[in-house]
Amino acid sequence: FKPRNNILFFDTSLLKGRILSEFAVVKEVNISKEFPHKIDVEITERTPIGTWCSIDVCHYFDQEGALWGNALRSSGSLLLNIDDLRILDEQKRMLSLDILEPIQKAVLDLDKIGVKIKKVSIPAEAIGDFRIDSVTRYYILFNNDTDISGQVKILKILLDEKGKEFKPEYLDLRIDGRVYYK
């Protein structure tokens, strides 16, 4: 037997680990041996839901918060665009779900009430705050520690009461149970 040319001694876990560590776009790898001479490798790629941009570079990210690749700063509506103005470690490959989940929740809930999103930004100095710019020229301020769904319900009530002529500069939803606007 030649160990290097023998399927019996092929280490599938080593190959799987190497693929996952070298290619961030790969979400899952399944490797199986089929005797006598076949190795099947099945790869599942990550599906981007948006672009996460720091000061000078953008990456794709998925539902789980994994970052990969270089993306162009986008202004379209196909992918969620997040501008993170904080200073981040460029070697980081995962986003904090403490930040990502509230943003995803806010975007989904706002879409349900008919508020279309242009982009999301995270200010450099604020802890837990994020800003969502709507396509109708106003922006909405949120905080990770608030009840996002509850705040969006209150926003819906306000928007229904004020009607279509309501043109605020911004809406502040950072305090539970209240909406401030200018």
C-alpha–C-alpha distance, residues 29 and 45, integer Å = 9
Q: Which residues contact 67 (CB under 8 A, 6 or more apart)?
A: 24, 52, 59, 60, 61, 92, 93, 94, 95
Name the CA radius of gyration of the chain, rounded.
22
For residue range 31-58, list pLDDT tens digits in order.
988 887 788 999 999 999 999 988 788 8
Q: Is 110 exposed, middle or buried (0-12, 13-18, 19+ CB in 10 A)?
A: buried
The 10s digit of each residue's pLDDT in 98-120 is: 889 999 999 999 999 999 988 89
23 vs 39: CA distance, rounded Å: 20
Q: Is the pTM of this model over 0.95?
A: no
Per-residue model confidence as pLDDT tens digits over 64-92: 999 888 888 766 667 888 998 887 666 66
| Dist CA 167 CA 182 (whole Å) | 9
Tokens 């470690």 map to which residue? Answer: 89
